[in-house]
Amino acid sequence: MSDVSPFDLVIDGEALHFNGKIKASEAMAIEAATGMTFEQWGNSLQAGSITAMVGLIWLLKRRTNPSIKYSDIDFDLDSIEMPDVAEVVPEVPTVAGEPA
């Protein structure tokens, strides 16, 4: 997840920008909120997990509203406008340069 390209997404008409960077404290918060390791969370985003998606949205919203809770995130699934996560989250190689 450290080499993610910046992207924008829109949820229920609210534009959110992801700059491609995540701090260690944010990664630990994601792990605590989702119950996934950071690596599992990144893989789950690529696989289309709604739990992982809520984690991403929570992360982006708490950057401007630190008091927002993970449980506060609720939205119409049809309202999500974002690039294909597989296009912005690079594959993790399993053997010297081979895709996973």
Mean pLDDT in runs of 10 for the chain (100 residues)?
Answer: 70 85 93 95 91 93 94 89 56 51
Does residue 27 belong to any structural domain of this protein? Answer: yes
Is residue 98 included in any domain, yes or no?
A: no
Assigned domain for 24 exists: yes
Range of the domain at 48: 7-86
Give me the residue label for tokens 């399993």.
94
**Residue 90: its pLDDT value, please?**
41
**Per-residue pLDDT, 26:** 93
Domain count, the chain: 1
**Phi, psi values for residue 15, rounded to 5°:** -80, 130
